[in-house]
Amino acid sequence: MPAPSTLSRTKRSEKYTFSDKLYLYTMQLLPSPDLAHVVKHFLLLESGHSHARHCFFPDGNTGMAFHFGVPFDQEISDNATITQPTSFLYGQVNQFRHLTANGGIGLLIVVFQPYGVHSLLRMPAYELSGKWVDTRDIWGQDATVLEEKVLTATTAYQKIAFIEDFLRYKLTGDIGQEHMIQRGITTIYAHHGHIAVEELSQQLGINKRSLERLFREKVGITPKHFTNIIRLQHSLRLLRNRSAKENITGIAYECGYFDQSHFIREFRSMVGITPRQYLFNTLPLAVNFVQLQAGCA
């Protein structure tokens, strides 16, 4: 039984049961307070034997993942797939990715803040944008030891404790250097992504070119790209929280899209499916990770 202080960090826990042998369990936990400036939350996914197809798409965050079940196959073209490493680090997700399960799913994702990879590695975030890198290619033997600890730990709380200790060991530098980018990201979230880059630069007191350099260096993408992702994520929340019969056009205008067709085009470009398919033909597992069902591409 985990300590009460650990239990209090659980944000959400859900279990979907399809049959005696096929189930899906998700749990989201907050990081320890001293790591909240880098880690947004931890996401645990578990299921019985599955060959389901999934879609992973941009949410503005970076992260690190550990497969303690069977790793996914990731589509890299229409006719080719690669098997994901047991543990890997990923930068900004630039486009949707289709993933296929090959058995029992066991996945622990460390969801970083948008600038988390830069804080952890102290390298330009754009160098990892759109990439998934085996943790052993970054940290060598240290990553191998961590991976073994995470895979052999018997509870999610033990797995997270090992990861948090590793992050504390690896984090260096003055986190205060992230103050400007934190302000920018907070402002974008407050506007649900519906803010012009020019207005954002004025609010932060820096010119547009400097703002773009700052975002590419610390987040990995331009502020315009980041605002588009956050606006799309806001539309997803509205879709999930409102009646399925509600007019999608209203959500499009509320989120600042020109019209419904503009919204659907942007949605499909980023998520890989239409808003209606998202509503009726997916099982959302996280804000940017869904299980595809009949009727999806």
Signed CA dihedral, 184, 97, 52, 239: sign only: positive
The single-letter code of the amino acid at 231 is R
Per-residue confidence (pLDDT) for residue 243, from 0 to 100: 62
In this structure, which long-range contacts are made by residues 19-22, counting pairs with CB atoms below 8 Å and at least 24 apart in sequence? 21/48, 21/49, 22/47, 22/48, 22/49, 22/50
Residue 101 and residue 54 in contact, taking contact as beta carbons nearer than 8 Å: yes
Per-residue confidence (pLDDT) for residue 16, from 0 to 100: 47
Question: What is the Cα–Cα distance from 207 to 46, expressed in whole angstroms?
Answer: 46
Angle at 204 between CA 198 and CA 210, to 5 degrees: 65
Distances (CA, A) of 161 to 8, 122, 157, 166: 15, 23, 6, 9
Task: Classify 4-170 by CATH class.
Answer: mainly beta
Give the start-to-end residue ranges of the domains of the chain: 4-170, 176-275
Task: Read off the pTM.
Answer: 0.89
Block mean pLDDT (10 aa), the chain, length 297: 49 51 77 96 88 93 96 86 96 94 92 96 95 96 98 95 97 71 97 97 96 97 98 93 73 92 95 91 87 75
Task: Say which DSSP state 50 is in.
Answer: E
As given in the structure block, the two tokens for residue 296 are 């999806």
Overall fold of domain 176-275 = Arc Repressor Mutant, subunit A (1.10.10)
Per-residue confidence (pLDDT) for residue 172, from 0 to 100: 72
